[in-house]
A = this chain, B = another copy of it.
Amino acid sequence: MSAEITARPKARPGKRTNDPEGLRKRVLDVAEASFQARGYHASSLGDVMAAAGVTGGALHHHFPTKKALALAVIEERVAAAIEETWIAPVQAAGSAREGVRSVFDAVAAELEQQGFVRGCPLNNLAHELSLADPDFRTALAGIFSAWRQAIADKIRADQQAGREHDTDPQRFAALAVAAYSGAMSMAKTAQESGVLRDCLNALEQEASSASSSNGRAGAKRRRRVLRQHRAL
């Protein structure tokens, strides 16, 4: 219904300023948020136009169809989100397992602070659009693939450095991504972030049957119910 997210530098009567890149960015900002909060089909271009302070002509000029807009959101924003919150941190971590743990931890902490679970943008769109259109499916599958690839590569680097043994990189990456995706799915549905910590702890407990360090401190906290929060 109501919206007014991005700043709209308008309301100047006589003059106009062409700002193609800025306008395009504003539209993508709003579309990304709307797709995340309400999904693709439930997001109307009218709402996007109103929230971004953009007319129909301008929107059509940059994104001829709704599908084109969604494709741009997927390729530019969703892919970037996975890159920022997962790929880069894992690559920068001391090991693949430590990277996975740190991301789980960071996301869980962020959810607890925000008090509202919007879910994983990639999974949200993947579920709604994978079967709807081949172009959507291809774009989304590529992001999933790159995500797993980065984790698998990190495992391989760990193995070459002697930090990891007898772990199939591809399988480990698949499990890490799946566990995160599934945990976020449950966290979103239950509006409760404890499942993320449960999954992370289970993942580490399973691995630590004969592992090395096990210095996880305050792991007693769980099942923290989130307070309600407004959407969008």
Contact = CB atoms under 8 A, between A and B. Distances in A.
Interface of A: 37-39, 41-42, 118-119, 123-124, 126-128, 130-132, 137, 140-141, 144-145, 148, 166-168, 170-172, 174-175, 177-183, 185-186, 188-191, 195, 198-199, 201-203, 205-211, 222, 231
A186 B181 contact: yes
Contacts of A210: 209-210
A178 B179 contact: yes
A130 B117 CA distance: 10
Contacts of A189: 126, 130, 137, 140-141, 144
Contact of A145 (B180, B181, B190): B190
A38 B40 CA distance: 12
Contacts of A130: 119, 188-189, 191
Given A141-B190, A171-B202, 14 more contacts: A42-B132, A130-B191, A141-B191, A168-B202, A170-B198, A171-B199, A174-B195, A174-B199, A175-B179, A178-B185, A179-B182, A181-B181, A181-B186, A207-B209
A191 B137 contact: yes
Given A141-B190, A171-B199, A198-B170, A38 B206 contact: no
Contacts of A37: 131
A8 B180 CA distance: 43
Given A178-B199, A181-B181, A182-B182, A168 B131 contact: no
Contacts of A174: 183, 186, 195, 198-199, 202
Given A172-B202, A185-B123, A195 B178 contact: yes
Contacts of A178: 178-183, 185-186, 195, 199
21 contacts: A39-B128, A119-B127, A119-B131, A126-B185, A126-B188, A131-B188, A131-B231, A141-B190, A144-B186, A167-B205, A171-B198, A172-B202, A174-B186, A174-B199, A175-B179, A175-B203, A178-B186, A178-B199, A181-B181, A181-B186, A182-B183
6 cross-chain pairs, A with B, having the tightest CB-CB distances, nearest first: A178-B182, A181-B182, A41-B41, A182-B182, A175-B202, A171-B202
Contacts of A181: 178, 181-182, 185-186
